[in-house]
Amino acid sequence: MAPKQVNIAIIGTGGVGSVFVSQLAWLSKNSPSTRLSLCYIAMIDKALYHQDYSEINIDTAVSTLESTGSPPPKLSEIVEYLACAPHKVVLVDNTSASSLAEAYPEFLKRGISVITPNKKAFSGSYELWQDIFSSAKSGGSMVFHESSVGAGMPIISTIKELVQTGDDVTRIEGVFSGTMSFLFNSFAPTSGSGGKWSDNVKKAKELGFTEPDPRDDLNGLDVARKLTILGRLAGLPIESPSSFPVQSLIPDELKDVANGDEFLSKLHDYDNQMEAQKIAAQKEGKVIRFVGSIEMATKEVKVGLERFDPMHPIATLKGSDNIISFYTKRYGDMPLTIRGAGAGGDVTAMGVTGDLLKILAQLR
């Protein structure tokens, strides 16, 4: 049997994108039943492709793109180019761009499958969410986004399978942010003192666990986006990540300071706010953690600080690990829990590569 051929298009060659390209190179050498033919690769200001769809060498794609890429075409032109490719096409969006996310329906309608770690499309408006899945249906294409929650861990696939096999998800709870995990595991450890809040934030930034401006982590929006995705997959028509309570850990007075450096230099003036939360929990024999939760029966979705017994799996989390628990009718009182790295180029790219394998298995 001649190997199946699939055209691959990649947008984004940053932390996740560049690792994905190397995993794709590995896969193309280790997946003899499918020929993976790269026909488009682009970064923010450059694109590499040929009008005759001739194959781009995956091993050298990123360096060739950097040295010989031309300004990228408009999105509508990319759709048109890929829709006319000789084989089925998988578009890999390794950016975090909203503009590209909003164009997924255009690609999907034209039969172009999409895989991505980009949360934007699935945590944007509910209308876009519906549009994405109806477009995939009408276009006979597929869309997978395992790495949009928990990076390469099997979170999206698990909740989908619970729902599709007829289980009732009753509650979802977890630590969805590697940054928040690291901050509270060190600030409020199950034993010993955790030091000052602002010192922990500074340390997290130094170690590369925060965004350039730590407020982009502390505002809780990243967690809210992930909960939006899981809630929708569980069956709740959540309108947007701002349609439920999200606790921000940014002091009101520092919301509008000019940049991350100024924020960090002033944060210690507000350490007493977080310290008070930690001490109040300690008086109950508990520790604080920044969690997201969904109660399906009451449709209550929330993000913020909660108190946990020191032996609770959420309290004993280590490093920057994520933990996500699914409470369901079939699993009863003891949830199905998945724990591990929820961020990082290697594991995020692996989730995308795993999605590609699912598509390859299903493509006709």
Query: Which residue numbers are catalytic?
Result: 226
> Which residue pairs from 249-256 have beta carbons closer than 8 angstroms and sit at least 24 positions apart in sequence?
249/218, 249/219, 249/220, 249/274, 249/290, 249/305, 250/215, 250/218, 250/219, 254/215, 255/215
- Single-letter amino acid code for the residue at 358: K
Reported residue count of the chain is 364
Residue 16 is assigned to a ligand binding site: yes
Residues 6+ apart with CB under 8 A from 346: 19
Residues in contact with a copy of itself, shown as a per-residue x/- string from 128 to 167 under the rule CB under 8 A: ------------------------xxx--xx--xx-xxxx
Strand partners, 88: 6
**47-49 and 321-328 beta bridge pairing:** unpaired
Site size toward a copy of itself, by CB under 8 A = 43
Q: Does 337 bind a copy of itself (CB under 8 A)?
A: yes
Strand partners, 293: 173, 302
Which residue, 133 or 331, has its beta carbon nearer to a copy of itself? 331
Which residue, 141 or 198, has its beta carbon nearer to a copy of itself? 141
Residue 358 is assigned to a ligand binding site: no
Which residue, 219 or 348, has its beta carbon nearer to a copy of itself? 348
Structure tokens, 253: 């007075």
> Which 17-76 residues touch a copy of itself, going by CB under 8 A?
23, 26-27, 30
Which residue, 249 or 324, has its beta carbon nearer to a copy of itself? 324
Residue 278 is assigned to a ligand binding site: no
> Which 298-327 residues touch a copy of itself, going by CB under 8 A?
311, 313, 316, 318-319, 321
76, with CB counted inside 10 A (0-12, 13-18, 19+), is exposed
Structure tokens, 220: 């809780």
CA 219 vs. chain centroid, Å, equals 16
In the complex, which residues of this chain contact a copy of itself (CB under 8 A)?
A: 23, 26-27, 30, 152-154, 157-158, 161-162, 164-167, 190, 311, 313, 316, 318-319, 321, 330-341, 346-347, 350, 353-354, 357, 361-362, 364
Instruction: State the binding site for NADPH.
Output: 95, 119
Instruction: State the binding site for NADP(+).
Output: 12-17
Instruction: State the binding site.
Output: 12-17, 95, 119, 211
